[in-house]
Chain A
Amino acid sequence: MILKAAPALAIAVLIGPILCGLGVTILPAFGYFPALGGNEFSLDPWRQLFATPGLLRSCLISLATGLVTTLLALAVVAGFVAGWSHTRMFRAIQHLVSPLLSVPHAAAAFGLAFLFMPSGWLVRLFSPWPSGFERPPDWLIIHDPLGIAMMAGLFAKELPFLMLVTLAAMPQANPRPGSMIATGLGYGRTAGFLFAVWPSIYPQIRLAVFAVIAYASSVVDVALILGPTNPAPLAVRLVSWMNDPDLTVRFKASAGAVLQLGITATCLLIWVAGEKLFSIIFARIRSSGRRFDKDQAVRIGFSVLMIATAGAVFAGLFILALWSFSGFWPFPKAFPDELTFNTWQRQLPGIGQPLTTTILVGIAATIFALALALGCLEREARTGRTGGNRALALIYIPLIVPQASFVFGLQLFFLSVGLHASLYALILVHLVFVLPYVFLSLSDPWRAWDTRYAQAARTLGASRNSVFWQIRAPMLLRPILVASAVGFAVSIGQYLPTLLVGAGRWPTITTEAVALASSGDRRVIGVYAFIQMLLPFIGFAAATLVPALLFMRRRDMRAGS
C-alpha cells in the first residue's frame, strides 16, 4: 500500500538532501574539501572565523533577533486573541491582518523602509511644513546598529503568520465554553481566555513558533534591507563569505555556517527554558485568584498594536505601488510629479517566463508536500504510532539548518546525480522547504481532530478510506487549504536554493526581484514586489474563500472563521 511508504518517503525527502548538504558544509568547516585544496582536517577555518572582527556582536544580534521578535509577536497575538476573540472587532482585524501573510518578507521590508526612512513618505508628508526639513534629516533609523528596524520588520511579518496558525488551532481548543466560564467566574476577558484556553492552543502552535525563532535568527533578505551593517547579523556575513571571489574563504564560511546552526539551536534552547520558567510564573498568577477584570486599556493596547502594524505594512506597500507608477519624485514632495506606466511597460515583457516557473514549481512542490504530509498523518492515525519525537526532530531540520549552509552542498549533490539545473531538482529542493511548513501547519489541527467521528462512522460501516475522504478531510478542509497556501507562499519566497540548484536557468519572480533590487530603483522594486505579493495572496484568498463558500450553510464547519 502506498500509505505505508509515505513516512519513509517523507523522511527521505527531508533528510537525504540535507545530510548531503550538511556533509559538504561540515567537512570544509574542518578544513577538508579537496576541490578547494583542503586535503587534510584542521581547525584553521575556526581560527579564521573567531579572528573575524565583530563576530561576537553579529552572533548576539542574531540571537537577540530570534528571541525578541518571536516573543513580541507571540505576546501580541496571544493578547489580541485573548482580548478580542468572537467580537466584530476581532473579525475585522483578522481580515485586515491575514492578507499580510502573503506578502513576501523582502517586499514588506522594502515597504517599511520606504515609509520610515528619513527620506521616506512619513517625513515627506510633514515636510517642508511643519517639520521645516528642506532636505531629509540625517537620522540613523534604518540599519541602526542594534537592529531595532530589522526586528520591527520581522515582527510585522511574523505577527500575521502566528495569528494565522493560532486561528487554525482555535477550533480544536474550543475556546467559547472555556472563556465563557472564566468570564462567568468574574475574570476579565483577556485573563479568562489566557487562563482557560491559551494552554490548549500553545502546544498546537509551538512548532510554528520554533520555526519563527529559527527563521528570525538566520534571516538574510530582511536583514539586508533593514538590518545593521557594521557588523551585520551572522547569516548576512555568512552569505557574503560564501560569495567571496577568494574561494579559500569558503572554509571560514562553512565554519560560520556551523556556528549559525549553533546560534539557532541556542535560541531554541533559551526559548524552551523560557517556556518552563513562564509556565511556573503563569501557574502562580493563575492560582493567585486575581481576576484582572479591568483589562479595557490592555485590550485597546493590543488592538492598536495590531492595527498599527498592519497599517504600517499596508502603507508601505501602497508607497511601493505608487513608486512603480511614478516619474521623478524628489524630496520633500509627498506625491510624485507625474504618474506613468513606463516602469510597468518596461518590466512586463520579461515577467512571463519567471512567472510560469514560479507558479509551476510552487504548485508542484505544494502538491507533493501535501500528499506526503497527509499520507504520513493518515498512516499515523491508522497505526496509532505518532513516530514520536524523533520523527518531529526530522521535520525540524530544514527549518533549523540555515539555508545558506546546506544549499551549496545540495548543489554538489544534484550535480553528482545528474539533476543539476533541472526542473525536477528545483521542485525537489523546494519540496525540502515546503514539506516541513505544510506538515507543521497541518499536523496539530489534524491530530487534535476528535476521533470519535471516525469511530461513529466505522460503527456505521464506513471503510477507513471513506472515513478519510468523506469525513476527516472535509472537516479539516480549512487547515488543509491553509497548509497548502503556506506551502505555496514558502515556495515563492525561496531565493538561495532557486538560484543555486536552478543554476539560474529557472528564474522565478523572487530571484528576478532580488537581482533587480540591487538596482536600488524603487519603481522597479515596486513592480516586482507587487507581483511577488499578489501570487501568495491568491493562494491565501482561496484558502479563506473555498471553505466559506462550501460551508455557507453549515455553521459548525465554519469554526474559527
Chain B
Amino acid sequence: MLRWIYSGLLTAVIFAVAGTFSPQSAFTEDLSDWKAVEQKAKGQTVYFNAWGGAQNINDYIAWVADELDKRHDITVVHVKLDDTANAVATVVAEKAAGTDEGGSIDLIWINGENFASMKRQNLLLSPGWAEKLPNWKYVDHESKPTIQTDFTIPVEGLESPWGMAKMVFFHDTARGIEMPDSFAQLVEWTKEHNGRFSYPAPPDFIGSSFLKQALSESVADPSVLLEPVDEATFSEVTAPLFDQLDAMHPNLWRGGRTFPKNKEALRRMLADNEIDIAFAFSPAEASNAIANKELPDSVRSFVFSGGTLGNTHFVAIPYNASASHGALVLANFLLSPEAQLRKQDPVIWGDPTVLAMEKLHADKRASFEALDLGIATLGPADLGPTLHEPHASWMTRIEEEWIRRYGVAN
C-alpha cells in the first residue's frame, strides 16, 4: 500500500516540480566528472523500456537490475514492451502534453526506424553523451561501422551501443536437405521444396530484414541503397526483387496466402516440421532454442557466403527522462566488459559484444575467448561478410510496396 501512496505522491511532486522549471532545458551535465554523475544517480529509479518477449533477455535485465542496486543504489525497473514503438508513442504523448521534465521513460532499447523517428523529432537527450561514457574506451567502433551509423543515420552519441546482430539461417540437419547459399538459390530451392519456406510478413522486423537481404542481393548497384529512396528510379531498382518474389510466393508455405507473424512463429514452424528453414537476427538464436527445448539438437546455423545483413542495437535516453543520471550509469554498466561477457554467454543470452577484444585487459579477453558459443552457433570467423543496412527510407518504401502487392488477398 505504501508503494502506491508513494507513487501517487511522487507523481504529484514530479508534476509540481516540472511546472516550476522552464521546459526543454538542454542536458548540460559534465560527463568527465563521472563520480559526480554516479553521486547524483544514487537512489534514482530507472524505468528501462525494453522488448520483453524473450525470457532469457528478461532474466539478463533482471541480473543487471540486481547489480545496479548493489553497486550504485539505483533501482532498475524493466518495463516489458511488446513493441518498441509504444515507448516512442509515450514520449510523443508526453511532449504533446507538455511533460518536458519528469517523463515516464528513462532508457529505451532501440535502433533503426524508431531511433530515426525520435532523433528527427528531438525526443532524445542531447547533446550526444554515449561517446563520453567511461566504458566507451572499450567499444569497437573502428571495425564495427554500424555502431556509429544506425541504418545509415549518424548516431552522434544520442544512443549507446549494446549488442550486435546479424542475420543467420538455421535448419534441421536430421532432415538431410541441401540448403541454398544465396537469395537467388533460395528462390530455386522453393521450386523443389514446395510449401517448405516462408518469411514473416512486413512490417515485422525480421520479415522486413529478409526483404532487405533479398533487395541487397538482387539490386544491380548496391550503392543506391545507402542513399534515400529516389522515387524516379524506385521501381527500376526494385524490379529484380519483386520479379523473384513473384516467382517464389506460390511455392511458399500455405501458397503464400498467409505469412507468419514473426521469427518466433517461424521457429515454431521449423520445430513442428511445417517448414525447413528459419532465420533470425541473432547468431545464438538456434543454440538458445535448442537449450530451451524449442528445437531439436540436430539444428545448425548457416549464412550466405556472399554475406548477410548486420546491425547494432542501442539504448537511448528520452529528452524528458526523470532519472537521466541513473540512465547514464545504467548505459555505462551495460558497456562494461563484465556485463558484455555475460550477455555473450549463450547460456545467458548469446548476444555478440560491441567491444573490441584488443582493447580489453588480457584476462577479460581470455574469458571472452573461453566462451562456449553453443552447438548451433557460428563463431565470429564463420559468420561471413556483413551487408550494410539500406537507408531507413528503403525499408518504409519496400514495406509499402510489399503490402500493396501481396498484403491483400484476391
Contact = CB atoms under 8 A, between A and B. Distances in A.
A276 interface: no
A121 to B, nearest CB: 11
Contact of B93 (A57, A240, A412, A499): A412
B292 to A, nearest CB: 8
Interface string A284-328: 000000000000000000000000000000000000000000011
Interface stretch (A3-11, A94-102, A155-163, A516-524): A516-524
B47 to A, nearest CB: 7
Interface stretch (A203-211, A267-275, A502-510): A502-510
Contact of B264 (A134, A411, A515, A519): A519
Contacts of A519: 53-55, 264
Contact of B396 (A243, A246, A416, A515): A246
Interface in B356-410: 396, 403-404, 406-409
Main secondary structure of the interface of A (DSSP, over half): loop
Interface in A388-403: none
A412 B11 contact: no
Interface string B1-13: 0001001100110
Interface in B77-102: 77, 79-83, 85-90, 92-99
Contacts of B58: 350
Interface in B90-129: 90, 92-99, 104-105, 113-114, 116-117, 121
A246 B116 CA distance: 9
A327 B90 CA distance: 38
Given A245-B114, A247-B121, A522 B408 contact: no
A346 interface: yes
B55 A229 contact: no
Given A119-B273, A243-B85, A422-B8, A228 B409 contact: yes
Contacts of B220: none
Interface string A12-37: 00000000000000000000011110
B96 A135 contact: no
B114 A424 contact: no
Given A35-B96, A411-B93, A138 B254 contact: yes
A408 interface: yes
A503 B262 CA distance: 25
Chain A interface size, under 10 / 10 to 19 / 20 to 34 / 35 or more = 35 or more
Interface string B185-214: 000000000010000010100000000000
B317 to A, nearest CB: 16
Interface-centre pick from B47, B54, B93, B253 (highest chain A CB count, 10 A): B93
A342 B294 CA distance: 13
Interface string B317-358: 000000000000000000000000000000000000000000
Contact of B97 (A240, A412, A512, A520): A412
A331 B89 contact: no
Contact of B262 (A54, A346, A515, A520): A520
Contacts of A135: 273-274
Contacts of A408: 89, 93
Interface in A101-159: 118-119, 134-136, 138, 140, 143-145
Interface-centre pick from B82, B257, B264 (highest chain A CB count, 10 A): B82
Interface in B257-295: 257-259, 261-262, 264-265, 267-269, 271-274, 292-295
A373 B104 CA distance: 34
Contacts of A327: 293
A92 B251 CA distance: 49
Contact of B408 (A35, A231, A328, A507): A231
B10 to A, nearest CB: 9
Interface in B103-162: 104-105, 113-114, 116-117, 121
A145 B264 contact: no
Contact of A512 (B8, B49, B80, B264): B80
B63 interface: no
B88 to A, nearest CB: 6
Interface-centre pick from A36, A144, A420 (highest chain B CB count, 10 A): A420
Given A36-B92, A138-B195, A518-B82, A423 B121 contact: no
A122 B201 CA distance: 27
B293 A136 contact: no
B273 A416 contact: no
A518 B53 contact: yes
Nearest to B77: A505
B240 interface: no
A504 B259 contact: no
B409 A328 contact: no
A246 B115 CA distance: 11
A9 B55 CA distance: 43
A53 B407 contact: yes
Contacts of A228: 258, 409
A118 B274 CA distance: 9
A250 to B, nearest CB: 8
Contacts of A145: 257-258, 409
Interface residues of B, number: 73
B15 A138 contact: no
B295 to A, nearest CB: 8
A416 B95 CA distance: 11
A486 interface: no
Interface in A231-286: 231, 240, 242-247
Contacts of A515: 52-53, 80-82
A405 to B, nearest CB: 14
A230 interface: yes
Contacts of B255: 138, 140
A520 B80 contact: no
A229 B54 contact: no
B96 A36 contact: yes
Interface-centre pick from A33, A350, A522 (highest chain B CB count, 10 A): A350
A489 to B, nearest CB: 22
B296 interface: yes
Nearest to A119: B272
Contact of A419 (B11, B77, B121, B295): B11
Contact of B273 (A35, A230, A331, A423): A331
Contacts of B96: 33-36, 412
Given A140-B255, A520-B267, A328 B296 contact: yes
A415 interface: yes
B409 A230 contact: yes
Nearest to B256: A230
A518 B262 contact: yes
Interface string A416-452: 1011111110000000000000000000000000000
Interface string B42-65: 000001010011110011000000
A274 to B, nearest CB: 28
A514 interface: yes
A330 interface: yes
A382 to B, nearest CB: 36
A233 to B, nearest CB: 13
B85 A504 contact: no
A501 to B, nearest CB: 11
B85 A245 contact: yes
Interface in A175-225: 224
Contacts of A243: 83, 85-86, 89
A144 B257 CA distance: 9
A522 B292 CA distance: 12
Q: Pick the 7 closest A-B CB pairs, nearest first.
A: A520-B264, A35-B96, A54-B408, A504-B79, A119-B272, A415-B97, A418-B15
Given A231-B407, A512-B80, A519-B54, 15 more contacts: A34-B96, A119-B272, A140-B258, A229-B201, A231-B408, A245-B85, A245-B88, A247-B121, A328-B296, A346-B59, A418-B15, A422-B8, A516-B52, A518-B262, A521-B294
23 contacts: A33-B96, A35-B95, A54-B407, A119-B272, A136-B272, A230-B257, A240-B203, A242-B89, A243-B83, A245-B88, A245-B113, A245-B117, A246-B113, A331-B272, A346-B55, A347-B55, A415-B93, A418-B15, A420-B94, A421-B11, A504-B79, A504-B80, A518-B264
